[in-house]
């Protein structure tokens, strides 16, 4: 498939506030990215059939009432559940950033689609919102979105209040779940330091196929080196965040 033929849907809705940057990151790589309100997608679900990538951006969907991403996840599950399952079964790509990651987890697409939930994201160990740039390790994984970044150290911004990943059950069960996703190549991104209490410093997780990816850092806020916090590193080159979007697009070019 030609790059110009690839179609991306970037969800928006009450409280989502990173849709413009996320769509821009895709458009910078030469693909069509349409920002679509969740209600418009619910009213026109067949739009998903023509898309290749679904992106859930960051923000505070529905004011994070009853938990970050919870209402967004419920709307997707009960209004678009059948269409989303077909989208996933058709081996298309999904990315959820920050609030979008929280929604994917609560929707049941991560860490393994359409199975009983074993993971969630909760309040940072500090008990308050965090907004800073962090150092990350990109691990060896099956993740489509991090393909060109694996085994590298990178910097990205985070801005969240509920980014702490926890697993279900007692400590033994939690370790078993972690070891399962680790051995399956699903731990795609980790913090260099414990920034929010996330289990084993996890910052991003993909599903067993590597096509569904959720991460708390914001790659769309690092697509240009002009966005770097260090004045010495500012220049007109593409930033490290652009690699995530390039990798998703490269997959579509090769597989559709």
**Active-site annotation, residues:** 98, 218, 220
Instruction: Determine contact, residues 51/11, Cβ cutoff 8 Å.
Output: no
Strands 212-215 and 202-206: antiparallel
In the numeric block, which tokens belong to residue 130?
């965090």
In the numeric block, which tokens belong to residue 94?
């999904």
In the numeric block, which tokens belong to residue 228?
């770097």
- Residue 16 pairs in a beta bridge with 59
* Contacting residues for 250 by C-beta, under 8 A, at least 6 apart: 147
- Residue 164 pairs in a beta bridge with 122
Residues 23, 14, 77: CA angle, nearest 5 degrees:
85
Assign 99 to helix, strand or coil.
Answer: helix
**Cα–Cα distance measured from residue 88 to residue 223, given in angstroms and rounded to the nearest whole number:** 27
Residues 162, 158, 22: CA angle, nearest 5 degrees:
105
* Contacting residues for 65 by C-beta, under 8 A, at least 6 apart: 71
């Amino acid at each position: 498939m030609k790059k110009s033929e690839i179609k991306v849907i970037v969800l928006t809705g009450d409280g989502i506030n990173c849709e413009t940057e996320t769509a821009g990151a895709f458009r910078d790589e030469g693909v069509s990215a349409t920002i679509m309100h969740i209600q418009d997608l619910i009213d026109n679900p067949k739009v998903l059939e023509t898309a290749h990538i679904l992106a859930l951006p960051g923000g505070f969907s529905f004011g994070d009432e009853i938990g970050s991403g919870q209402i967004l996840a419920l709307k997707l599950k009960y209004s678009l559940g059948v269409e989303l399952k077909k989208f996933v079964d058709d081996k298309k790509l999904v990315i959820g950033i920050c609030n979008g990651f929280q929604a994917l987890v609560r929707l049941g697409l991560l860490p393994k689609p359409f199975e009983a939930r074993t993971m969630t994201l909760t309040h940072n160990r500090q008990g308050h919102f965090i907004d800073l740039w962090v150092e990350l390790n990109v691990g060896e994984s099956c993740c489509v979105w991090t393909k060109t970044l694996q085994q590298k150290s990178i910097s990205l911004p985070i801005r969240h209040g509920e980014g702490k990943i926890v697993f279900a059950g007692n400590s033994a069960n939690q370790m078993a779940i972690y070891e399962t996703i680790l051995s399956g190549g699903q731990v795609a991104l980790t913090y260099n330091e414990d920034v929010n209490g996330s289990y084993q410093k996890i910052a991003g997780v993909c599903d067993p196929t590597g096509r569904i990816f959720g991460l708390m850092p914001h790659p769309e806020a690092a697509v240009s080196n002009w966005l770097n916090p260090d004045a010495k590193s500012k220049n007109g080159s593409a930033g490290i965040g652009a690699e995530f979007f390039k990798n998703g697009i490269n997959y579509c070019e090769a597989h559709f």
